[in-house]
A and B are shown apart, each in its own frame.
Chain A
Amino acid sequence: MEIWCYPIIMNTIGHTYRSLYLQQKTHTLTIGTLLLLILNGLASASPQRDLEFIVTIDWLKTQLDNKTPNLRLIDVRYESDYTNGHIPGAVNFPVELSFQHNRIVSIRRIRTLLRNLGIHNSDRLVIYDDGHLRDAAHVFWMLETYGHEDIVVLDGGLPAWKKADLAISYSNVKYPVSNYVPTITPLHLTTKLGTRLALKNPNVTIIDSRLESEFRGEESKASRTGHIPNSVNINAGNSIDKSQGISKLKPVAQLKKLYRDIDKSSEVITYCNRGKDSALNYLIMRSLGYKSSVYDGGWLEWGNDYQLPIEK
């Protein structure tokens, strides 16, 4: 059983007990906690998720077999790829749709898109791409930014699915239009202002997710070269393991090693040029338990704004 089930379980238990014994809140809590522990024990049989927001093929398969309600698969590949076969039940949301002028998609548009896809605010979303995770991460980040809770990313993407010889669907699935309302939280998206403020904040770590050369200022996709002052360069690509033919995330231990310099208690702001790499860093760091957000403007904004400080 995954970790994110626990709050739900506790809530359900709590509700049940509250309705049965209205006055005995402590009681409920105690029993809830006990049950939680028990369930935790029981749940120890099922594979534990090291990364909060990453799910395995097996897990997905189980979910699909169990016909878990409110589960929506989002295929973020190109439409043509989608048509050539996708996980049954998945809808297509090409990743480029999550961009608007190199920035996050606008509120209106995402609202329309999600509504048309028939996705509800309460749906559990499973995002997959071709395994590189950069696309899935960006969509993940975008959806998180727009307030969706309960999103996971499939490790390995479709190739992994295919490799597992699991069912492939070729039909376009259509869901009824929903009343999706995007919610904005400042948690996951940092603006130029926020980043600018973060420079002075010792509790904030800015991670530059670009190539090292770009970090060093050897090249740049913006006017200026260099990086945001005091930022740390961690290329998101280092997290991907391509050794087995398909792209997969590196094991947790390695991931942890990758980000070991980052203080667990600090907030993390990732940035890159457009946002995919920073999204991946974001995803992994989120999964590892860091408070992270993405500086949406990225180097394209920062580098082009001569009023902003940079470092080389």
Chain B
Amino acid sequence: MRARLIQLSIRTRLTLIIFIVSAVTIVSVTALLVYWKANESREHAVELSVNITNILSQDAAQVLLIDSADAASDMALKLQSFKTITHAVLFDTDNTPLLAYRKHGEKSLVLPYMPANTVTSDNNYITTYVPLYFQSYDYGTASFRIRSEPFSEILIKTLGKVLIIIPLLILISYLLAIFLHKAFTRPLEHIAGIFKKYDESGDLVQIEDSYTTLEVNQLASSYNNMANAILNTKQELLSQKQRLHITLDSIADGVIATDINGKITYMNPSAEHICGWTENEATGKSLDTIYRLTDTENNELLISELDDTLSHGIVNYGLENMTLKVRKGELIDVQSTISPIRDANKAIIGAVVIFQNVTETRALHQQLRHQAIHDPLTGLLNRGEFENILQQRLQSLDNNTQDALLYLDLDQFKVVNDTSGHIAGDALLKQISSLLDHSVRESDIVARLGGDEFAILLPNCAVAQAQVIAEKIRKEISSFSFAWEDSHFRVGVSIGLVPITEPGITKTDVLTFADIACYAAKDMGRNRIHVYLTEDRELQHRRSEMQWITQISNALNENRLFLFAQKVIPLKNNINAEHIELLVRHIDNDGTLRTPGAFIPAIERYGMASKFDRWIISNALEDPKLIAYLKCSPKHCVNINLSGLTLGDTDLIDFVSSLLKNAQLPPRTVCFEITETAAVANLNATRKFIRSMKLLGCDFALDDFGSGVSSFAYLKSLPVDFIKIDGALVRDIDQNPVNEAMVNAINQIGQVMKMKTVAEFVESKNVQDKLESIGVDFAQGYHIHMPAPLHDVINEQAEQDTSNTVTH
């Protein structure tokens, strides 16, 4: 019902309202009128009766008082002229009816007595009772029965009139409504029409017309303003949308937007390019049709993330190992994020997926990872990774596990490097690596620790089996012939084998033991396997070496190292130089003086060489007495031994330089000694070092020349000033002609190369004589001078100088 009411147009409603109002008015007025009229009839009747009574009072009196029939007749005649009076009765004072009147044509009726001024009525007649007075004398009552218009007749008559009016009323209402409509509602309808047009077609037209009423004009102009505002907003929105679109399109990452049901609403060009679908094709489809993600490792489809985002608003950051299957079926690695899209009320209205092609990146990562843990040259695991694996393995040890570690050090590798160059060395390493790889089991872990050192972890391998494997490897390597540019090399391998049986053993321990074992193997002649056993004498020796280190450290810290010196005297008269070689002596815990021979190797082994050497250099070059000694005569020189390992110390040169500066010592007063073997081991470094030192102004001596692997070729490349002939050669030249010949040869070459020669270990006069006859420049040894504390030597030398001066 209410809906239908709303459907009615204004005009209809107006008509209806006007009509209804008018009708209601009329009906109520009619009702009122009818009521009044009915009432009036009554009142009229009463009035009439009263009037008649007045008129007929004389007659009535004559009738009632005089009993005159004539009067009665006259009264009747007069009553006849009142058409509405049908009956009348005159009551006597005793309330009995005396005389009745009946209009001609009426049927006979008895009017009952009622007290005066009573009015009764039935449908058609009103009966009144009027008191009769004659000169204030009440002589009776007159009753009149007056035909009144029955109510129904009045009603019908009135209604009749009304019914005539009603169509007229409708017409007037309609016309009025039309007028009103024209004046007021049509403009509204017009405007409503404009709005409707907007609803249907979306066009916002301006209202040009002006209307009759102020309010409607206001409405029209407001509408125009609103329309303009809307159009502007639309325009703005459009341009914003465009901007947004351009922005999204420009994003290099793929962007896919979905609605609340997971159906795609937008794809940017990057997404199109990556997935292989165009936006038009994809719109409306569900996300997993286009964006098919699988886990890289187990190939499971991942779809739950989108549901999580859409239903709970969870932001899913891209996991690693996501692969996207593009339209053509190709697989690419992606990293993606799915976030919810929320509206102004924070309700979720969709989701957006942003993803990048990370295939290259991932590949790069893989590569880096690989590089991080592998040795670039050989492809084996590197030290770091090997140590990690070892660590993990050790942590998971239990009482039943038996693992083994092999520590391999190639023998004579340097020969290849130095002879044929690094490329050859590298090639050799590669081939060895490949060999190793093939010699071990699947579960064994091969690593290159650096240089020519390798390690192999043999999990679940008992010592015996490990030895077998190690021996196999050793055999293979030693029988391996490396060919390079017309040269053939053979290398050997020293292997240290450490059984890993006790849980709780640390990585450092294992590696240390392995190192010890390997070194032992090297020490015992190379190309062999040495198993680390705790009771091993050799290892005890190693261990004692380790103990030495502690001692030396302590000694260094506690200043229980002392500088001794040994004179190096010239054998020829024309040499005007006097050298003293600095030696280190160590007072151990129980006060015994110890020589460095025991601990030098340990020092070198355990990386303390440089520290050690620095200590010596600084102690020497900061010693005021020594400084004074060196300054006092240009003949005075001090020789300081350097470990081969110290050569690698790049700061040493600056260190020495600053000490010399501080001491204001002429550099030529310092001569550094380095053993031939040490020099050979680091030929390039040695060369560099020597050059740097010589730039500084110091001299250089090659110690223990001729001892081990000797080659005169080295001399050519090492710009030393002194050659110190190995003591082993010198010691028995008076009896050993071979050694004599050797010494002779060395001396001669030295002379030719403008290098001074120094003979060590001169322990007898005969030797000295021999040396003189050969023509060696300097000599050093117990026969010549026993090492003594430095200050003593200096004092002694000073005295001798004084005496010499006196003598000469």
Contacts and interface: CB of A to CB of B under 8 A. Distances in A.
A266 B757 CA distance: 204
Centre residue among B73, B76, B104, B110 by max chain A CB count within 10 A: B73
B80 A186 contact: yes
Contacts of B72: 107, 184
B108 interface: yes
A111 B90 CA distance: 13
Interface string A108-151: 11010000000001100000000000000000000001010100
A145 B76 CA distance: 11
A296 B74 CA distance: 12
A247 interface: no
Interface stretch (B61-69, B399-407, B773-781): B61-69
A221 B98 CA distance: 33
A190 B73 contact: yes
Contacts of A297: 70
B89 interface: yes
A205 B75 CA distance: 23
B69 A189 contact: yes
Contacts of B110: 121, 181
A297 B71 CA distance: 12
A185 B102 contact: yes
Given A121-B108, A149-B108, A181-B100, A108 B74 contact: no
Interface stretch (A156-164, A191-199, A249-257): A191-199
A189 B73 contact: yes
A183 interface: yes
Nearest to A197: B77
A37 B69 CA distance: 41
A88 interface: no
B101 interface: yes
A111 B75 CA distance: 18
B48 interface: no
B110 to A, nearest CB: 7
A106 B68 contact: yes
A106 B69 contact: yes
A187 interface: yes
B73 A111 contact: no
Contacts of B379: none
A182 interface: yes
A297 B80 CA distance: 21
A146 to B, nearest CB: 8
A147 B100 contact: yes
A98 B77 CA distance: 22
A194 B67 contact: no
A168 B361 CA distance: 160
Contacts of B108: 121-122, 147, 149, 183
B627 interface: no
A268 interface: no
B97 interface: yes
A181 B69 contact: no
B319 to A, nearest CB: 98
A49 interface: no
B69 A103 contact: yes
A208 B431 CA distance: 186
Given A104-B69, A192-B70, A183 B80 contact: no
A194 B69 contact: no
A191 B62 CA distance: 14
A184 B100 contact: yes
B100 A296 contact: no
B67 A184 contact: no
Nearest to A181: B97
Contact of B73 (A108, A122, A191): A191
Nearest to B99: A107
Given A103-B69, A107-B72, A145-B69, A184 B97 contact: no
Interface of B: 63, 67-70, 72-77, 80, 89, 92, 97-102, 104, 108, 110
20 contacts: A106-B68, A107-B63, A121-B108, A147-B108, A181-B110, A182-B98, A182-B99, A183-B99, A183-B101, A183-B102, A184-B73, A184-B101, A185-B104, A186-B74, A186-B77, A189-B73, A191-B70, A191-B73, A191-B77, A296-B73
Given A111-B98, A184-B99, A191-B73, 17 more contacts: A106-B67, A106-B68, A111-B99, A121-B110, A145-B73, A147-B100, A147-B108, A149-B108, A181-B97, A181-B100, A181-B110, A184-B100, A184-B101, A185-B101, A185-B102, A186-B77, A194-B73
4 smallest beta-carbon distances between A and B, as pairs = A106-B67, A183-B100, A186-B76, A186-B77
